[in-house]
Chains A and B, each alone.
Chain A
Amino acid sequence: MASIAEPIAKPASRFRFILDRRDVLGAVFVAPAILYVLLLVGVPLLLSIYYSVSAYTIYNPSWHFVGLANFAQIVENPDFLRTLSNTFIFTFGSQFLGLVLGKFGALLLLRPFPGRKIVRALIILPWAVPIALATVAWQWMFDSLYSVINWSMIALGVIDRSDAPNWLGNPHLAMLCVIVVNAWRFFPFAIVIFLAGITAVPQDVIDAATVDGAGFWRRNYQIIVPMILPIVTIGLIFGIVFTFTDLSIVFLMTMGGPVGATSVLGFEGFQVGILSGDVSHGAAISLFMLPVLFVVVIFMLRFIKRREI
């Protein structure tokens, strides 16, 4: 009689059930990701570290070791210092603006209103639209001649045609513009983070605060925000890391101008290392982000740990 679960007759090969072992199967599944990171992130990183301590340029591709001389040179360059401070202003300005927009956006989206689902879908758009497309649209809005913003303000009588601002031509306004565009791109992400956090706060806690006499602001800033701070901080770390290393908006909208007013580390590294061919200095500029980000991330993770509830 044939049995349904007949034991395997022939002696199985040693590797026949190899994939049934958890540790082996796990390694097989993880391997592509690890290979990807090693080959496409690890190798270039090591390469750029070597470039930064060599005298490599595309005109003279020597592997000659120069120690920290490249770093010493860029730190002495006032343009670089300005770029560094621009990067901080750009990063923290846009993150702050994005968080504020995100918080209020999330509060609005928590309330039921007709068409909420459509608004929720639309609000993700800035994040989903290809950045080049979005930046071109913003560029038109900030254009010195055809600016929609200026046109509207003139039409409304807020300003006179003669003193319409040249958004991308004025160093301060140009920085404001790139910050606004980046915040616009970041705030849907912030809304998602805040929505996730606020939804996770137990209703009982919010109700208790209401009955205990807390009004809207106290409830938000003494109860809800402290409770979701760990989640928000994680979101902020992502935001900071991405913004600090980003060059796309600056590259597409201002090219670092006017006169370097909006130049950021990523853009400067690209400019020097790739466009000008001074690979070693470009690498040094780019690598400068690493310790800065490292310190920021460590600081924030420690902060979360302390706030853990």
Chain B
Amino acid sequence: MIKNEDIIKELEKNLMTFSQDARTKNVGVVEKNSDGVVIASGLSQAFMGEEVEFENGEKGVILNLDEDYVSIILFGGGEKITETDKVKTSGKILSITVSEKLIGRVVSPLGDPLDGKPGIRIGKSMPLEKIAAGVIEREPVNTPLKTGVKLIDAIIPIGRGQRELIIGDRGLGKTAIAIDTIINQKPEKNSRLKPVICIYVAIGQKQSTVAQVIEKLKEVGAMDYTIVVCATAADPAALQYLAPYAGVAIAEYFMDKGEDILVVYDDLTKHAWAYRQISLVLRRPAGREAYPGDIFYLHSRLLERAVKLNKEFGGGSITALPIVETQANDISAYIPTNIISITDGQIYLQSDLFNAGIRPAINIGNSVSRVGGAAQTPAIKSAAGKMRLELAQYRELAVFAQFGSELDQATLSQLERGKRVTEILKQPQYQPLPESLQVLSIWAVTNGFLDDIGVESIGKFESEYHNFIKSNHPEIIKNLSLGEKPTEDTIKKMRVITEEFKKIFSK
């Protein structure tokens, strides 16, 4: 129990640091309050991005500075703010309080708790707007960020510090890929890679959808290393606009400590909508599709904050997985093209593939990872090297074969192989695979071990094959999980084991 004297001592200690200097406040008067934007006169000392407080305790941030007026966007509804109300500046740029205690929490873009638990008051104040790390502080992407999705890890690999866009129509599994990636970051024992802290930023989504995501993350134990920043469709546009910046500000706190962070922005289309709404209310000139002129800068300054720092600067990293929703598979719309040009690659999901039962419905032809290849482990590189080429050839031949002309044996076998490769790349939702099992599956299919297995039995074969090796030959799994290129000896063993399993499976 704490003694009375200790409490008094603590109080005295705190009082010693209290400054009694005269305070100067810069105040203004509300002239107009409409659509979440307040126009106030006065505030001659105010600066862009400064937090302000109204008489009734509501807060906002300055987004426009005019000769006689300032425009403030509100964090709340602002129903109680009336003309002639007083507003005062805070002298500080908008920031969020971050500490380790934030891990496992669901917070608003201002850091207020949304999960019913106590607020986080003590921590480091991180500015929402910050200039991204410069070239001196950076190093090339060289460490893999494993998503657990076979197709992505094999063909479109993502590295720590990369910005990989997930793009596609609604309901095709964009969020599912992001959630799978978060689930796959569960710290492994004896892993050579640093654990990854995940931040899921929900922007303008339905509250029920966000609740489902949080529930799923809790169910699989992913909330132990995840932070959810949430600005739903019910929140003011100002909060939706600030949400991704809050997410990256939190990420920067952990990155400064040398940690690796994964940030998912779900999604930036709605973010652009929120910013368009704010800009139109602020009477900023509208451009294409009524978006303001700085819509590109809005996203580029956010995604530029994804970085891989070099060892001198702590070696931390921020990997960004922005999500963009397209309409009718149109990736050439304004916001999608903007973000495609900012990011280091994209994972393109297509409705035709989804409807054909290929899930994840990734279109390999339009998907690319510009820097991730350098981060791929030798193990998966050796297994998946052939696959991309085989798949490309298969797709070309499949189109050709549609005409029904007679095909030679070589072409037929290539088509059959392609079908099996496509089948093995299918993966159920929320079931990320470790790299060792991915390597086994891909190695088996690309080396023809599945050529005599029926396409409909591939899924069953794969899961039983994994279980067989896990229980009977754990040394192979251990060997492959090191990430090194399998030795001749290991490959020999894998051949023998696969043949052995095929005999059991065919029975």
Please indicate whether A and B come from the same complex rather than being unrelated chains: no
B interface, CB within 8 angstroms of A: none
A interface, CB within 8 angstroms of B: none
